[in-house]
Structure 1
């Protein structure tokens, strides 16, 4: 990649994203974050330049720099992606750790964070703007929608369907063939053996809905 990257966000996955780009010999120009207390500070000698909505920095995106959105909060992540799509007509790039494995027979979209030891298997289809934490496994034939977050060490078995906006905690096991509905949440350490409805929160072994 010839252009340097501006990372949107300076917390959470921002520092691991910097490490991923460094390891792939991609220059990071700087970070942008809405927290003004972080401005003019540095993360591993890379400066936090200013606010993500500052037009002075946004005008660099697409011409002189690429963009990567390193924000855990899904609503704000979606807002930033939409802003980049509409204002700059660009898609954020992927940040893929060198130790991850993505099958050549899988498909992956834009703006994904793929940390160390992540495995994406044969025939898997991954959308855009997802977060895969360390050691997550997406087995063959699984489908993952946009804006999904999968926690460290979680196993998404073969032919599972995970719809848009789903959050899966660390250490979760989802058995083959299950569907996780849009914007559902699966608590850490859960074992999912039946379908999860849209907007539902489940937890436990076996995972069951949490009563509100």
Structure 2
């Protein structure tokens, strides 16, 4: 990655992304954040310059800068992905911690956040804008759709298929080649042993719909 990066979002996820890029020796141009109170402040000597739709900064993306979206609210993240794609004709870069392990045979899309200890196995697939927190395991041939968030320490077993917009809490296990439908939510620490329908919220060991 040769270009400096603009990070959208100056919250906790933005700070984590900054650390990842710095450990990978990538220059961060600035943060953009819609909280005006943060403007002019610095995080690790990187300035928070303006709003996420500030054309004075976004105009450089795709020419002189790349972008990474570190907004924690899914719909806001998806909105920035759409803006970058439609207006700037680019997709966000990936932030992959140097202590993450991603198979060379895995398929990784755009805008991935993969923190320390993440493992993505052989021939696994990870869609657009996924967030894999510390020590997540995506085993071989598992598939994640777009904008899936997987909490720290969770395990997605081989062959599992996770649809778009799914949230999986910290320490959860998808225990087998199961299917989790679009927009489903898996509670922290849950053990999923059967398919989860779209939009459902499940919790427990074994996980049951609530």
* TM, length-normalised to structure 2: 0.99
Cα distance in 2 for partners of 1:16, 1:120 equals 19
Cα distance in 1 for partners of 2:108, 2:143 equals 10
Matched, 1:80 2:72: no
Structure 2 residue ranges without an equivalent (≥5): none
> Considering only aligned residues, what root-mean-square deviation do their CA atoms show, in Å?
0.6
Question: Which digits, 9 at most, give the CA deviation of each residue in 1:106-154, with x for residues without a partner?
Answer: 1100110000010000110111100000000000110000100000000
Cross-structure match for 1:137: 137
Structure 1 residue ranges without an equivalent (≥5): none
* TM, length-normalised to structure 1: 0.98
Q: Spell out the pairing of 1:46-57 with structure 2 (5 A cutoff).
A: 46-57=46-57
Question: Which digits, 9 at most, give the CA deviation of each residue in 1:42-98, with x for residues without a partner?
Answer: 111100001000111110111110000001111000000000101100000000000
Cα distance in 1 for partners of 2:199, 2:32 equals 31
Cross-structure match for 1:3: 3
Matched, 1:159 2:154: no
What is the CA distance between 1:12 and its match in structure 2?
2.5
Cross-structure match for 2:20: 20
Cross-structure match for 1:36: 36
Cross-structure match for 2:111: 111
Cα distance in 1 for partners of 2:8, 2:92 equals 10
**Which contiguous aligned blocks of 4+ residues in structure 1 show a shift greater than 4 angstroms?**
none
